[in-house]
Chain A
Amino acid sequence: MTSPISAIMSSFPTSGVGTDMSVGTSTTTPAQGTGGTDFASVLASSIDGLQATQSHADSLAIQASTGDLKDVSDYMIASNEASLATQMTVAIKNKAVDAFNQIMGMPV
């Protein structure tokens, strides 16, 4: 029931990128941003979580085709969750690439 994709959201507030982006955090000092995890590792861990969700759905698909599946809804919900997690990871990735492109497009 615990979706591995939650690792992304829980890791955001502790990461340097997350604290620097968030506006309302008055208690955290800006110097904390250097010690936190960078965005690349956050993205990597989120993709790992996505991989786990998809492999769970895949194993249930194999069970469905071999007739070992205990409950039909198990597979449908797992594939639904994998699809949603993929959409969410892609959305976060697109936002990050957009931000990177905007910074790269800055005239210096």
Chain B
Amino acid sequence: MGVFDTLGISASGLLAHRKWLDAVSDNIANINTATPTSQSAFKERYIEAQAVDYGSGDGGVRVATAQFGSGEGRVVYEPNNPLADKNGNVRYPDIDLGDQMAQLIMAQRGYQANLSVIDRATKTYQAALQLGKG
């Protein structure tokens, strides 16, 4: 355990929220990705966060793994699509854009919260270093 532990803990929070942002941007980027019905659709990405125990570890959070949603998607009738099967169907990922936007806001706010913790901790440490001066 170091003196400036808060910075490292908040850094892990920043990393986790950045990965969440990456997952959301991946989902939004592929929201219109069509696949043939013989293949699975783009699978929605989920980030599984896990707490690092402060007593035994360094504290903070880590991304345990990335989970994937269903590849079933939704089958859309698009006979003009070059990927369409003989019935004229293609597969689109079943991702809700509103849900992704909500997750985007949560990830952004979480990132900002960790940044402000770093800012506040830096000011606190600097105030402690002013002890006994003057």
Cβ 8 A contact of A2, one of B2, B10, B60, B115? B2
Cβ 8 A contact of B7, one of A8, A80, A87, A88? A80
Would you call A93 an interface residue if the criterion is a C-beta within 8 Å of the partner chain's C-beta atoms?
A: no
Are A6 and B2 in contact (CB-based, < 8 A)? yes
Are A6 and B126 in contact (CB-based, < 8 A)? no
Would you call A95 an interface residue if the criterion is a C-beta within 8 Å of the partner chain's C-beta atoms?
A: yes
Cβ 8 A contact of B4, one of A71, A74, A85, A91? A85
Residues in chain A near residue B8, CB distance under 8 A: 1-3, 77
Nearest CB to that of A53 among chain B residues?
B4
How many A residues are at the interface, by size bracket?
A: 20 to 34
Would you call B29 an interface residue if the criterion is a C-beta within 8 Å of the partner chain's C-beta atoms?
A: no
Would you call A97 an interface residue if the criterion is a C-beta within 8 Å of the partner chain's C-beta atoms?
A: no
B34-76 CB contact bits vs A (8 Å, 1 = yes)?
0000000000000000000000001010000000000000000
A–B pairs, 18, beta carbons within 8 Å: A1-B2, A1-B5, A1-B11, A2-B1, A3-B3, A3-B8, A5-B2, A5-B3, A5-B4, A8-B3, A71-B18, A73-B15, A80-B118, A81-B4, A81-B7, A84-B126, A85-B4, A91-B129
Residues of A within 8 A of B (CB): 1-6, 8-9, 71, 73-74, 77, 80-81, 84-85, 87-88, 91, 95
